[in-house]
Copies of this chain bind each other. A is one copy, B any other.
Amino acid sequence: VQLEEDNFILSIAKQFPIKSTASLYGIGDDCAVIPYNDNESYVITTDALVEGIHFLKEQIPPFALGYKAIAVNVSDVAAMGGRPLYAFLSIAIPAQIDTAWLQIVMDGITQTCKQWNIELLGGDTVGSKRDIFINITLIGKALQSGLRFRHTAKKDDFICVTGNLGDSHGGLQILQNALPSCSEQDALIKAHFQPNPHLEEGLCLSKQAGVHAMMDISDGLDCDLRRMLSASGCGAIIETTQLPISENLLKICKMQQWDPVHMALEGGEEYCLLLSVAENDMEEVQKAYERACKKKLHIIGKITDTSALQYQTNKKNVSISLQKFRHF
């Protein structure tokens, strides 16, 4: 599915070849960039949530649905080194919708906008025959010096992530398998329904010249890292023992005999940031990040000049056969 989507987007992008400049950038990254002034640019992203594909109406709490519609876009703005400002909502609603349920979805959208000082400036409210469709276009602003792309990773860069991997995917698996409730499981379900976009992390990292490339992880580390490598014309080695995996996920994996490494690599809807950092600047970036964000960057591998993504466990090559992430 992801590969098909990438090819589809590529075929569109070919028809709109845009020279990458400091002030205008088109298809192919978390956000597009359009001019604002000499120092700053607008960054713009759009993300759709479709009933039956991205959420099940009977499963997701309506407030969480509204929250998520905004949060996934905030994550894209964060990945560019920007701060969100203005949102536009298109929502298609079947006639037989429960209006009380819909009101809570709208509360989720408006309160989440307020949480990040986003102004909802417009939209389109239309009917739908059967399924709910929610599209958010989010406009943010970034310093041009702070803009980060996915095509700028360089050989020998360290590969880092800003948070645990697999929690959201674990939460989804718990819901899908209707596992009984316990505190670990509730934490993972929360990670799935209320992902936390790494906005302050992105802003902090965008100030560091040593951060070469950055993107958010929305379709799983394996899938998104391959996108970064392909855009940058590089390969990578990832050390599986360094993947940050939460205690909660490890416990559930043990109970359910799930492979935590597979969960960490396959899991979509994670919304932490994936970045590459110049070898010589790693220490400085790590220090600045710890100071600002009160936590560590997780170093999980290195960029290579091959075109392959190689997984290693304790520095020995391993072959991992993954399933592509599907929402449902």
**What is the interface of chain A, defined by CB distance below 8 A to chain B?**
1, 5, 8-9, 11-12, 15-16, 18, 25-27, 31-32, 34-37, 42, 44-48, 50-54, 85-86, 88-90, 92, 106, 110, 113, 119-131, 133, 135, 137, 139
**A118 and chain B: residue at smallest CB distance:** B16
* B-side contacts of A27, CB under 8 Å: 120-123
CB–CB A90/B46 < 8 A: yes
A-B pairs with beta carbons under 8 Å apart, 7 shown: A18-B119, A27-B121, A27-B122, A34-B85, A50-B128, A52-B130, A129-B131
Residue from B16, B52, B90 in contact with A48 in the complex, judged by beta carbons closer than 8 Å: B90
> Is A133 within 8 A of B8, CB to CB?
no
A294 CA to B119 CA, complexed, in Å: 41
Residues in B neighbouring A42, C-beta threshold 8 A:
42
Known: A26-B119, A137-B137. A106 touches B12 (CB 8 A): yes
> B125 near A128 (CB under 8 angstroms)?
no
Alpha-carbon separation in the docked complex, A308 to B162 (Å): 59
Residues in B neighbouring A51, C-beta threshold 8 A: 129
CA separation between A12 and B66, bound complex, in Å?
13
* In the complex, residue of chain B having the shortest beta-carbon distance to the beta carbon of A25: B121
Q: Is the CB of A122 within 8 A of B88?
A: no
Query: In the docked arrangement, what's the CA distance between A135 and B88, Å?
Result: 11
Given known A27-B120, A130-B131, A135-B135, contact A110–B12 (CB-CB < 8 A): yes
Q: A11-B106, A34-B85 are in contact. List 7 more A-B contacts (CB 8 A).
A: A26-B119, A32-B88, A42-B42, A45-B122, A48-B126, A54-B126, A129-B130
A90 to B121 alpha-carbon distance, docked (Å): 18
* CB nearest neighbor in B for A119: B16
Taking the closest CB of chain B, its distance from the CB of A245, in whole angstroms, is 28
Instruction: Say how many copies of this protein the assembly contains.
Output: 2
Are A9 and B125 CB-contacts (below 8 A) given A15-B110, A16-B120?
A: yes
A46 and B125 contact, CB distance less than 8 A: no
Inter-chain contact A16/B121, CB cutoff 8 Å: yes
Contact A120 B12 (CB under 8 A): yes
Determine the distance from Cα of A133 to Cα of B10 in the docked complex, in whole angstroms. Answer: 20
Contact across chains for B53 and A92 when beta carbons are under 8 A apart:
yes
Which residues of chain B are within 8 angstroms of A126 by Cβ–Cβ distance? 5, 48, 50, 53-54
Residues of B within 8 A of A53 (CB): 92, 126-129
Which of B34, B86, B90 lies in contact with A135, CB distance below 8 A? B90
Interchain CA distance A11-B16 in the complex, whole Å: 38
Q: Is the CB of A137 within 8 A of B48?
A: no
Q: Which residues of B contact A129 (CB under 8 A)?
A: 50-53, 130-131
CA distance A283 to B139 in the complex (A): 41
Bound Cα distance A137, B16 (Å): 16
Instruction: Chain B residues near A15: list those with CB within 8 A.
Output: 110, 120
